[in-house]
Amino acid sequence: MSTVEQIEADIRRLPRKARQQVAERLNAQLWPTSFAPEVEQAWADTVKTRLDDLDSGRVQGVLAADVFARARRILARR
């Protein structure tokens, strides 16, 4: 097993919150942004709320294919 594969396996064993923190830190290193911290926090809060809504079943996801098909129909009318 390569080092990268071992790191991935280790991360998969972490609790969800810890995996999220690892992903956020790697993302920040790979794609730094110039957004203000409060903007970043607002976006993170929105993402968490939406994921919680999906996980709890309060909302249902929409297939990407359906979204793109609808967007194409709307754009074709213009």
- For residues 9 and 1, the answer to whether their CB atoms sit within 8 Å is yes
pLDDT band at 1 (very low <50, low <70, confident <90, very high): confident
State pTM to two decimals.
0.47
Of the candidates 71, 68, 49, which has an alpha carbon nearest to the alpha carbon of residue 58?
Answer: 49
Amino acid 74 reads I
**Residue 8, SS3?**
helix
In this prediction, residues 47-71 reach a mean pLDDT of 96
How far is 40 from 12, CA to CA, in rounded Å?
25
pLDDT of residue 63: 96
CA distance 22 to 70: 35
The mean predicted confidence, pLDDT, of the chain is 94
